[in-house]
Amino acid sequence: MFHAPLALDPFVAYFCAHGGDDFNQRRALMTYLWLLAVAAILVYGIGRYNRLVTLRERYRNAFSQIDVQLRRRYDLIPNLVDTAKGYLKHERETLEAVIRARNEAMKADKVAAADPGAPAAMLGLVAAEQTLTGHLQHFLGLVEGYPELRGNETMLQLQEELASTENRIAFARQSYNDAVMRFNATRGAVPTNVIANAFRFSRAEFFGIEDDRERATPTVAFGD
């Protein structure tokens, strides 16, 4: 049988006496460090999750302001048409087109308001709003050709309200788009994107109009 040299006996004795304690201490330290690392990751992950929730709520709240102004705009349009139809008797098709476009835009806004930022809903709203704006511009362009209608006090007041509403929509849209940009930037950053994908924070869609002039209401010169 093989025997270790006598010179090694003190080392073996020390290891037998203390080696087990050192191993347990190292294992305890590693366990502590591992738990500390896991805790740090969890705290960071919770922080990133809460940040995404906060930014998502910001753009949703911003869209609610768009919704308020759009609804105000939708309420004004029938009054404009009712005021004008006595003068535009030969433009029935145009008036009906404005009302149809307004009704479609209301439907699209309702869908978008139920899930602000959802790509399909936002793109649908943009398309409906662009269609409505086109018909409304055509309608207001016709108003310019009728001096009596241009001088109508009710029409003047309604157009002023419409112009004010359009400006509010523009400001609300900018606020919403800024909030969406911050959310998307945070969502796409590493390592927050891991949290975003794990908890299904989808990319938010902007409320964009290709040309801001498409939102502008034609200026009608009231009076001669």
List, in order of start, the domains of the chain with CATH numbers. 56-214 (1.20.1440.20)
Q: What is the pLDDT at residue 22?
A: 72
- pLDDT on residue 9: 52
User: Which range has the worst mean pLDDT, 77-81, 97-101, 163-167, 212-216?
Assistant: 212-216
Provide the token pair at 164. 């004010």
Query: Using an 8 Å Cβ cutoff, are 160 and 220 in contact?
Result: no
Residues 97-135 have pLDDT tens digits of 999 999 999 999 999 999 999 999 999 999 999 999 999
pTM equals: 0.79
Q: What is the pLDDT of residues 35-66, one digit of tens each?
A: 888 888 888 889 999 999 999 999 999 999 99
